[in-house]
Structure 1
């Protein structure tokens, strides 16, 4: 199937219509975003796939299962975000990178975390030119609440890292603050 050896990882993949649980396969030493940003490969192969209704609840309810398949190839452009695999491999020395906290809006929830970008580059400029799949570190899933400002939301679920598709995010907004820090004036600073 593959020309190079691959390592299997469990993954939870979110699209607009589905939550897919299954196995993805990474080249040793590469990360999930590296796989998803690979040019010339429009689909992500997933084995042992369980397809559930779209949503954020984990684990899903048994009644939400729509189908199962030994194999599914998911068109990458439809992937919103996924949990699993490994963090992306940095393209530059960590000394040349800085973390910026941001929140990506996906329907009725947002994913917030730290994005590593080159030092001295404005976040808005980076987002305009970055590859679609990026790794958010120390990430959280936050459910929107009409009577609560975004920066005061509590996390619904926490992740060491999550791979997001910047092109599927509806917007970038001020991030909920970890440990009570105020991030309102630093988003695009």
Structure 2
């Protein structure tokens, strides 16, 4: 049992091979990324889990259910991203950070959103020093489509925030700076 009280939240967890729908438990006032970045804890306890193969359909088709399990300890380093909980707790003054529009590339899709990074820090420096789990704000899930320019792809799903594992992304792309009102991701201008 937990030593301190926890708050229950629904979670949708995406790993390389599975989607898990269930409950996770956060420390009051803490965010999802805070829990996942906790040192010395390699697993995320989840309860009441519905297990599906990897995919994007939400809600999932009931006929695609692979298992219903009371408890699953999910290996954190296999988590690609998850929906649920709360955004990470900002540990510094808002004046010290800026939001940068990024896309995290995965096989067949990408997640695009705003990541809070320290002002004036190069993205490559931040990525090499940051904890793996970060909050991506105003995020969208985009499915890559053959013969279709990235700029024309509409989001498959939108989220207020998602918690992403930077170590599981196959690439991190910074959206080109251009007209500030154009928030669409472009790869080649």
Partners of 1:12 and 1:179 in 2: CA distance:
31
1:150–1:174 contact (8 Å) kept in structure 2: no
Question: What's the counterpart of residue 14 of structure 1?
Answer: 14
Q: How far is 1:125 from its partner? A: 1.2
SS in 2 for 1:23: strand
1:32–1:163 contact (8 Å) kept in structure 2: yes
The farther-off stretch of 31-40 and 170-179 is 170-179
Partners of 2:145 and 2:33 in 1: CA distance:
30
The farther-off stretch of 59-68 and 167-176 is 167-176
Q: How far is 1:183 from its partner? A: 5.4
Counting matched residue pairs gives: 185
2:13–2:20 contact (8 Å) kept in structure 1: yes
Question: What's the counterpart of residue 79 of structure 1?
Answer: 79
Question: What's the counterpart of residue 70 of structure 2?
Answer: 70
Partners of 2:56 and 2:123 in 1: CA distance:
27
Unaligned 5+ segments in structure 1 are none
Unaligned 5+ segments in structure 2 are none
Does residue 52 in structure 1 map to residue 58 in structure 2? no
SS in 2 for 1:151: helix
2:100–2:174 contact (8 Å) kept in structure 1: no
Structure 2 matches for 1:137-152, cutoff 5 A?
137-152=137-152
2:102–2:174 contact (8 Å) kept in structure 1: yes
Question: What's the counterpart of residue 156 of structure 2?
Answer: 156
Partners of 1:105 and 1:71 in 2: CA distance:
30
Partners of 2:150 and 2:172 in 1: CA distance:
12
Question: What's the counterpart of residue 97 of structure 1?
Answer: 97
SS in 2 for 1:124: helix
Distance 1:21-1:93 versus aligned 2 partners, 3 A rule: same
Calculate the TM-score normalised by the size of structure 1: 0.92
Q: How far is 1:108 from its partner? A: 0.6
The CA RMSD over aligned residues, in Å, is 1.9
2:150–2:186 contact (8 Å) kept in structure 1: no
Deviation string, structure 1 residues 8-32 (Cα, Å, up to 9, x no partner): 0000000011000000000000000
Distance 1:182-1:111 versus aligned 2 partners, 3 A rule: closer
